Amino acid sequence: MAFERVGVVGLGTMGAGIAEVFARAGLRVIGVEADAEALARGRGHLERSTGKAVDKGKLAPGQRDEILGRITLTTSREDLRDVDLVVEAIPEILDYKISLFKDLDRICEPGTVMATNTSSLSVTAIAAATGRPGRVVGMHFFNPAPVMKLVEVVGTVVTEPGVVADVTALAGRLGKTAVAVGDRAGFVVNRLLLPYLNHAAALMELGVAGRDDIDAAMRLGVGLPMGPFALLDLIGLDTAYEVMGVLFDETRDRRHAPSPLLRELVTAGLLGRKSGRGFYGESSESGESGAYGGAPHREQVKPRLGTFKVVGYEDEGDGLAERLRAAGFKASEDPDVVLCLADRPVIEHAVRLPDPARMVGVHLVGEQVAELASTALTSEHAATAARDLMKIVGLTPVPCKDRAGFVVDALLFPYLNDAVRMYDAGYASIEDIDAAMRLGCGYPAGPFEMLESFGLARVRDGLRALYTEYREPAFAPAPLLDQLVTADLSEFPRR
């Protein structure tokens, strides 16, 4: 089926971008909003987004006019009577969507395909509310829709043969890569992404590390395009909260229960970028006016010659000691700070020292980040000295508590474990899961690519440590991962 005229209902964070994507591919678009004020906001999104593309030289002014000229904006759903496809992008609340689809079913021709951009709700339940369940699918775009290359196409048990293939072909025409999946809360990407974001909020609530430090660790250490709190602001905290609630309802996994922190911010109207404030203020990752901002150690570095000692892993430890010596610091038997690059918990190493207050745990993440774990006994003097030393040798310090996995492994390893479980359950292939996370989230590598580059045994052992510390059942290594390590394999068998 060829789609030439499409409707987009809801022109908020996602819908405006989706309308732009269709218009860029030459389709005619009717954009529908709830009222005149929201319609003006939607028009503003479209004008700003295409305006930015012109400013960056990615679009000629004439092309922009053509794109905007293909989009008709209205507050009347009745205008959708002649479209071939309608994509819904209204808030993530099942009752709203069901009532909208019932009405669209009345308005649109029987052959029209109806798609929902839901992140987590049951496409089957939405389809069942219409008289054409076979022609209802999920068409899940990613934020920002004009940029992110992935579309998850969700078929249900009642989808007519051919509809998923037609929508997949349309995604290709839009310049996107489609991954076809079954109807399970969160599909591939949100099922893996949202628990990680929720976990970041939980670590902050537990005081393991602060907002800016967690974001810096994931961005600079792991190479993600943004940290979890900046991403929550981009997604919209209300949307993230709703999606997590739906995941929890399906899985009853308490990691999916939305963090109380999110509920508090949503109730306060701090929804992220769309409301101007969320975890951050107006400009992400720089503003101090958002909630929970301002790490206390952002002061200028005052180089202060101190002494240090490095203990632990030979190669990593020697490398760090060498960098410190090259920066003019002295190794000493009576050091200001003892930097411990050894298996955690750091406190077990600290209590063996004559002065445990001097020990700080160090975990180097990538080329740029040093996680610095203070134990219950670490002195402020040692913690500050460790931070200064890292800054002077060009590393970004991420202060945190001495907890299993510190920040990065604690956030990353359960996500990798979830991906293994998803694959082992037969929901999606390794290739699709990797592609979905790369193209849907802009990650530098998919979870299986990350697992294989970190080393399966390291991730399995890290998960065991997390499980031992937090006793969270989902942190126990997936049986498949455990078996591959036992069999001494370094890669996942591609089936």
Ligand X SMILES: NC(=O)c1ccc[n+]([C@@H]2O[C@H](COP(=O)([O-])OP(=O)(O)OC[C@H]3O[C@@H](n4cnc5c(N)ncnc54)[C@H](O)[C@@H]3O)[C@@H](O)[C@H]2O)c1
d(CA 380, CA 17): 48
Q: Is-contact 163 138, C-beta < 8 A?
A: no
According to the binding rule CB under 6 A, does residue 152 interact with ligand X? Answer: no
Would you tell me how many other CB atoms lie within 10 Å of the CB of residue 205?
A: 12
Residue 289 known to be catalytic: no
Distances (CA, A) of 322 to 33, 198, 483: 61, 38, 39
Q: Minimum CB separation from ligand X for residue 33, in Å?
A: 5
Instruction: Check 20, 33, 88, 152 and give the catalytic one.
Output: 152
Question: Which residue from 190, 210, 172 is spatially nearest to 121, judged by alpha carbons?
Answer: 190
* Cβ density class 152-187: b for 16+ within 10 Å, e for less: bbbbbeebeeebbebbbebbeebebbbbbbbbbbbb
According to the binding rule CB under 6 A, does residue 119 interact with ligand X? Answer: yes
Q: Minimum CB separation from ligand X for residue 11, in Å?
A: 6
Residue 6's DSSP bridge partners are 29, 85
Instruction: Check 20, 45, 117, 119 and give the catalytic one.
Output: 119
According to the binding rule CB under 6 A, does residue 15 interact with ligand X? Answer: yes
According to the binding rule CB under 6 A, does residue 186 interact with ligand X? Answer: no
Site size toward ligand X (CB under 6 A) is 28
According to the binding rule CB under 6 A, does residue 365 interact with ligand X? Answer: no
According to the binding rule CB under 6 A, does residue 432 interact with ligand X? Answer: no
Distances (CA, A) of 277 to 10, 94, 478: 22, 26, 38
Instruction: Check 190, 198, 259, 374 and give the catalytic one.
Output: 190
According to the binding rule CB under 6 A, does residue 122 interact with ligand X? Answer: no
Sequence-separated contacts (24+) of 274-283 with Cβ below 8 Å: 274/12, 274/13, 274/236, 278/232, 278/233, 278/237, 279/211, 279/229, 279/230, 279/232, 279/233, 279/237, 280/211, 280/229, 280/230, 280/233
- Which token pair is 465? 């440590």
According to the binding rule CB under 6 A, does residue 50 interact with ligand X? Answer: no
According to the binding rule CB under 6 A, does residue 117 interact with ligand X? Answer: yes
Q: Minimum CB separation from ligand X for residue 273, in Å?
A: 10
Question: Which residue from 327, 372, 332, 371 is spatially nearest to 355, judged by alpha carbons?
Answer: 332
According to the binding rule CB under 6 A, does residue 274 interact with ligand X? Answer: yes
According to the binding rule CB under 6 A, does residue 377 interact with ligand X? Answer: no
According to the binding rule CB under 6 A, does residue 7 interact with ligand X? Answer: no
Residue 122 known to be catalytic: no
According to the binding rule CB under 6 A, does residue 13 interact with ligand X? Answer: yes
Q: Is-contact 317 344, C-beta < 8 A?
A: no
Q: Minimum CB separation from ligand X for residue 355, in Å?
A: 49
Residue 140 known to be catalytic: yes
- Which token pair is 192? 């893996």
The single residue among 216, 230, 235, 450 that binds ligand X, judged by CB under 6 A, is 235
Q: Is-contact 194 440, C-beta < 8 A?
A: no
Q: Minimum CB separation from ligand X for residue 447, in Å?
A: 19
Number of helices (H), then strands (E), in the chain:
19, 14
Interface with ligand X in residues 62-101 (CB under 6 A): 89-92, 100
Of 7 and 414, which has the nearer Cβ to ligand X?
7
According to the binding rule CB under 6 A, does residue 379 interact with ligand X? Answer: no
The answer for residues whose C-beta is within 8 angstroms of residue 490's C-beta and 6 or more apart is 452, 455, 456
According to the binding rule CB under 6 A, does residue 118 interact with ligand X? Answer: yes
Instruction: Check 33, 88, 117, 140 and give the catalytic one.
Output: 140
Of 247 and 465, which has the nearer Cβ to ligand X?
247
DSSP 473: G
According to the binding rule CB under 6 A, does residue 53 interact with ligand X? Answer: no
Q: Minimum CB separation from ligand X for residue 362, in Å?
A: 35
Of 94 and 476, which has the nearer Cβ to ligand X?
94
The binding site for ligand X (CB under 6 A) comprises: 9-15, 32-34, 38, 89-92, 100, 117-119, 140-143, 235-236, 239, 243, 274
Point out the residues that are catalytic. 119, 140, 152, 190
